[in-house]
Amino acid sequence: MALNNRGWRPIEQVNDRWKKNICNEHEILLTQIKELQGMQSGTIRIGTFSSVATHWLPNIIKIFKKDYPHIDFELLLGDYTEIEGWITEGRVDFGFLRLPTATELETIFLEQDRLLVVLPEDHAFAHCERFPISELCKNPFMLLEKGAKAEISEIFEQHQISPIIHFTTWDDYAIMSMIENGLGISILPELILQRIPYNLIAKELEVPAFRNIGLAMRNQQSLSIAAKSFLHYLAYRKK
């Protein structure tokens, strides 16, 4: 619409712009209110395995809840395969996994966790600097595995070792109790071995082995406001 002879715009055009600005500001306000409400209540669902649930999540959640006390948590414990499935199905917002994961998932690398040989205190190699790979197949072995994507079996395959497996479970505390009682040896992630109530010796392998731990999700942008905010607290996983 053309300007009038004084260079002013008609009052109708000014009103239209004013109305549009008010509508835009109202939508922004509603969005901000909705986001604020989303941080005042809700549930964050996390897939995890036992060592992360025991040694990382308590401190993360404690600090998070100081800022957002009304956000609740649902933790589902499983193995890598189960957790990956829960993420893909949308059963959890995200999950802790060994990396790499399925290519369609977004991941955040967190930490490299050493895999250590765990021995009873009176074992013949309790004082060695590093545990020989060849000795793995000369001792009764307690295997910590469940499902696919198990890093310990990959060590055996990589070095073409066939251990004498006497016991297989996903319960790391059962494994440690049996080792303490002299029933065999095992390979466990270092994260599991923190603050344990058992008298054990942990040794690095002569060829060091690791697992990469990360957080995986379908799409970070589609997470709830609360779940997105939780990602900023991952740095608090250690006290």
% helix / strand / coil in the chain, to the nearest 5? 40, 30, 30
Burial of 170 (0-12, 13-18, 19+ CB in 10 A): middle
Q: What is the pLDDT of residue 210?
A: 94
Catalogue the E-assigned strands of the chain. 42-48, 71-77, 94-99, 106-120, 140-144, 164-169, 186-189, 200-217
Span 183-208, pLDDT tens digits: 999 999 999 999 889 999 999 999 99
Q: What is the pLDDT of residue 1?
A: 45
In angstroms, the CA 21 to CA 11 distance is 15
Q: What is the pLDDT of residue 75?
A: 97
Q: What is the pLDDT of residue 169?
A: 85
Q: Lowest mean pLDDT: which of 20-24, 52-56, 73-77? A: 20-24
Span 102-156, pLDDT tens digits: 889 999 999 999 999 999 999 999 999 999 999 999 999 998 876 655 788 888 8
